[in-house]
Homo-oligomer: A and B are copies of this chain.
Amino acid sequence: MAADPFLGWMTDIQQQIERTLETLLPQTASAPCDLHQAMRYATLEGGKRVRPLLVCAAGELTGARQDNLLRIGSAVEMIHAYSLVHDDMPCMDNDVLRRGKPTCHIAFGEANALLVGDALQARAFELLATPLEGVEATAQLAMLATLGHASGHAGMVGGQAIDLDSVGRQLTLPELEYMHMLKTGALIRASVLLGARAGRVLDADRQARLDHFAKCIGLAFQVVDDVLDCEADTNTLGKTAGKDAANDKPTYVSLMGFSEAKRFACELRDDAFAALEDFGPDAQRLRALADYVVARSF
């Protein structure tokens, strides 16, 4: 049986991202060792690396250099990893399991977990501010502004704040969508935009289409997460399953029902495909990734 070339590419990128992260994270031999060890614990050997995969796939679209894409992908992944560490803390979701391992504050204590998140965020911006070979400084500045916006009060953290306010309260579907556009969608969208920005500049029309693709995928990713959280057991998921329902948090499944949520995810994927319609073979990876994101739930 011939190996699936997309799965081969995905595994290859995941391995390269792992190696890049290993290099870019501080070494455990240097002080403060506990902090460095905890930063590595929270970032390495875990996750599907969806955001770096999106960075790399979007970079193929514009002919960006692979080494640059791996650095950008690692920076975005550090932002994602920090958000998980802080999200798991007792004052937030109070979760003990993440990616099949004890959460960072369980393994290293709360104070260290707080600092791990803070340091990972700083490191992400530092990495993205270090000159990328062959990329104009103005393009890099734009990437930094995009990542800053997507990570902060008008993006990921803003979404988490809305999520916090929503516990035990009834949200409408548009409110839920707005929350997820910020909480998960903003960083996924930024991944696509950053990867593309590392190569040839797209014209305004194609840029807008790519952005629409990124928005659809970001939302689809969350819808699928809700479906998985509802149907999977803790073992398969590597994190505590069913916790949204237990916390009385609104989800796509609780608002739409199970089948309708799955149907919505497919609709978003088709919408994403349509946005890339005239992009040709350079967008092959992005299409395959969109498919992969949604297929996780089937």
Partner of A111, one of B91, B153, B155: B91
In the complex, how many angstroms separate the beta carbon of A96 from the nearest chain B beta carbon?
Answer: 16
Least Cβ distance of A81 to chain B in Å?
13
Interface residues of A in 209-243 (CB under 8 A from B): none
Check A34 for interface membership: any CB of B closer than 8 A.
yes
Q: A138-B137, A157-B35, A157-B118 are in contact. Are A125 and B144 (CB under 8 A)?
A: yes
Say whether B162 contacts A145, CB under 8 Å. Answer: no
Return chain B residues, CB-CB under 8 Å to A122. 121, 148, 151-153, 155, 157
Are A126 and B114 CB-contacts (below 8 A) given A141-B131, A141-B140? no
A42 contacts the other chain (CB 8 A): no
CB distance A118 to B165 under 8 Å? no
- The residue in chain B whose Cβ has the minimal distance to the Cβ of A179 is B32
Interface SS, A side: helix
- A110 CA to B37 CA, complexed, in Å: 25
- Is the Cβ of B110 less than 8 Å from the Cβ of A153? no
CB–CB B126/A145 < 8 A? yes
**Bound CA–CA A171/B83 (angstroms):** 33
Give me the 8 closest cross-chain CB pairs, A-B, nearest first.
A126-B148, A122-B152, A137-B137, A129-B144, A91-B110, A35-B161, A32-B161, A129-B145
- Can you list 11 A-B contacts with CB-CB less than 8 angstroms, sorted by A residue number? A32-B158, A35-B153, A92-B111, A112-B164, A118-B121, A118-B151, A118-B157, A123-B152, A123-B153, A141-B141, A144-B144
